[in-house]
Structure 1
Amino acid sequence: MTRLAGLIDMDLVGFDSPELFLRYSRRDESSCLILNLHCHDHEGFIQQCRLAAEASPPVVFICGHEDVAAAVRALKSGAVELLTLPIDPIDLAEAVLTAFALDRRQRRHRAARESLRQRHELLTPREREVLPLVAKGLMNKQAAAVLGISETTLQIHRSQVMRKMQADSVAELVRIAATLHIPVWSDTDSDTGDFPSLELLATLRDRWS
């Protein structure tokens, strides 16, 4: 590991067990977890697989040649890379840099989701009812009928939703709703009219991504 630190400008922190790592207060910067696979310690192996599955931070596994079968199972849990002993420092450095890049992307995505969640909390209960209707693609008259309010009132709520969620278009609102896992409104949720059959929210999100 000291050779790795010489190849990459990074700090190394050692842990004797997964429990010690979980109690560690992680700094707000890119990182990865390098695990020496404990294939012969079933409980430890399960803990390591769980850490890899959570992927925060991303995991790089190291194992002996005789442990490859179990290591493949661990790799399927979500680890970034699997390296066998003896370790080539260059291979390890490349794996760590890949993990760092993944960690940066995951951190950005988590920050973006948290920002959207905070915006959603600013909505009033009525505005939270309006959002999935607008994201579904209902016209103002249709959405107003679903909620039993006037079209003018619906337009006011819709404007507030777009403003508070910082959405410049319905397509952007669809992406936001999908990111926050807001349930899509279904025609079967209301008996106020024969509304058009539209594609699912996730499909719309993919189309406009």
Structure 2
Amino acid sequence: MQEVLPIVFVVDDDVSVRESLELLLRNEGWQVELFVSASDFLAYDPPVVPNCLVLDVSLPGLNGLELQRCIGSDRTEMPIIFITGHGDIPMTVQAMKAGAIEFLQKPFSDETMLNAIRGALQRSKHLLSRKNEIRELRSMYGQLTPREREVMALVAAGLPNKQVGSELGISEITVKAHRGSLMRKLNASSVADLVKIATRLRVTTSRTLDARAVVSESHRS
């Protein structure tokens, strides 16, 4: 299959900046989408591919920092590179605290911009990969029975099969059967894998904290 090209979004009301960036970025082989305002960008539904946003701070209507706040929780896989002709330190700090990866003062060199975008796209690719992995894990977790979920939480908390059975009021043999089934469904080859999956999914039950207390107490004795 042909590799999907990353997209660089540019939001700047200066036509000369948009045109120069479009030429520079297309020469690098990236897709480029240009927007005059924050509202135009918000109306666009981006495809799920590695991407980043080159965003001017001063925009008509909604400014760049306000746009950053609008998309902060919805587009976490979209790193932001701010550009400005009159940025100051408080503005830079505000943008960085909100998650921006670069804050470039105009005029900037082509190489400075390209390096920033390369880093942003690599970060986006990593974030999308993690997001897809979590989605797949949640799908597999959804196939577990309620009892298998209980067993998973207690095993991940560190309890041996016998104690899991005691907690749930079932036999050790039944625990082993549930444990084997859930590990197959989750493609987990070891307890260590199961613990990692439980951690990533934040799997817990009301019994999990009690189970951890039991394990902790047994270690002290």
- Residue 215 (structure 2) aligns with: 196
- Residue 60 (structure 1) aligns with: 81
Shift of 1:66: 4.2
Shift of 1:15: 1.9
Counting only pairs closer than 5 Å after superposition, residues 42-121 of structure 1 correspond to structure 2 as 45-52=65-72, 54-121=75-142
Residue 20 in structure 1 maps to residue 20 in structure 2: no
Shift of 1:21: 2.2
Q: Distance in 2 between matches of 1:103 and 1:112?
A: 14
How many equivalent pairs are there?
Answer: 194
Question: Does structure 1 conserve the Cα–Cα contact (< 8 Å) formed by 2:141 and 2:186?
Answer: yes
Greater strand fraction, Structure 1 or Structure 2: 2
Inter-CA distance 39–32: structure 2 relative to 1 (3 Å threshold): same
Moved more, 44-53 or 28-37: 44-53
Shift of 1:8: 1.5
State TM-score, norm by structure 2: 0.78
Q: Distance in 1 between matches of 2:146 and 2:174?
A: 14
Deviation track 1:129-185 (CA, whole Å, cap 9, x = no partner) reads 111111111111100111111111111111111111111111111110111111261
2:147 to 101, 115, 126: 126
Q: Which amino acid aligns with 2:136?
A: S
Q: 3-state DSSP class of the match of 2:216?
A: coil
Q: CA RMSD in A?
A: 2.4
Counting only pairs closer than 5 Å after superposition, residues 130-149 of structure 1 correspond to structure 2 as 130-149=151-170
Q: Which amino acid aligns with 1:197?
A: S
Question: Does structure 1 conserve the Cα–Cα contact (< 8 Å) formed by 2:159 and 2:211?
Answer: no
Q: Which runs of 5+ in 2 are unaligned?
A: 1-20
- Residue 186 (structure 1) aligns with: 209
State TM-score, norm by structure 1: 0.83
| Runs of 4+ in structure 1 over 6 Å off | 39-43
Shift of 1:64: 2.1
Q: Distance in 2 between matches of 1:107 and 1:75?
A: 21
Q: Distance in 2 between matches of 1:141 and 1:46?
A: 55
Q: Which runs of 5+ in 1 are unaligned?
A: 199-209
Deviation track 1:69-118 (CA, whole Å, cap 9, x = no partner) reads 21321122111111001121110011011000000000100011011001
Q: 3-state DSSP class of the match of 2:82?
A: strand
Q: Percent identity?
A: 35
